[in-house]
Amino acid sequence: MTIPVLFGIALIAVAIVGWAISLYNVLVQQRMLVKEATADVETLLKKRFDMIPNLVNTVKGYAKHEEGVLTKVTELRAKMQGASGSMAEMSAINNEMTSTLKSLFAVAENYPNLKADSSFLQLQTQLSDLETEIQKSRRYYNATVQEYNTKIQVFPNVLIAGIMKFTPAEFFAAADEEKENVKVEF
């Protein structure tokens, strides 16, 4: 072979290796963004679960016979603390807690003194603000996961991603009951 042909082959090999290294670095950065977004969601969920005992204690004083809802909230808090950290498990516990909190606030509607209690109102406001933060964090997490999953699944990236064991991340999904149409009756 002639020198120009060998030089051309070497140049192509260097370009391919450079592309593979660059792609690997991009995929690592994307994976780290997914991990960061996961940590953000976990932090906000923990913050919400840490707030729950205060809310439960405030409601307990007014709603002694509503023990079922209060017990469920406490059980879910313990379940979250023992969670393995997978996004699917956290998502399921979060969806269950959201549903239970709706029940708890529905219980509060039956107690005018509770609705007027400053501690309850402050906790309700803080929890509402925290729910907004959680929703923002979930959207950021899902956008990051979508970008990461797309990068590892498009051609030719899929070749390198497969070799380097980059696996798709899970989305933070809504519960089935949250996907159903709301029934409005007058």
- Cβ partners under 8 Å of residue 177, min gap 6: 95, 99
Report d(CA 172, CA 56) in Å as an integer. Answer: 26
For 45-84, the pLDDT digits (tens) are 888 877 777 777 776 666 565 666 667 777 777 777 777 6
124 domain residue, yes or no: yes
Q: How many domains does the chain have?
A: 1
3-state class (DSSP) for residue 168: coil
CATH code, domain with 67: 1.20.1440.20
Model pTM score: 0.67
Domain carrying residue 103? 3-173
114 domain residue, yes or no: yes
For 99-151, the pLDDT digits (tens) are 777 777 776 676 666 666 677 777 778 888 888 898 899 899 999 999 999 99
Tokens 């913050």 belong to residue = 47
Is 172 in contact with 91 (CB distance < 8 Å)? Answer: yes
178 domain residue, yes or no: no
Tokens, residue 14? 């260097």
Report d(CA 31, CA 130) in Å as an integer. Answer: 26
184 domain residue, yes or no: no
Sign of the alpha-carbon dihedral angle for 14, 20, 22, 25: negative
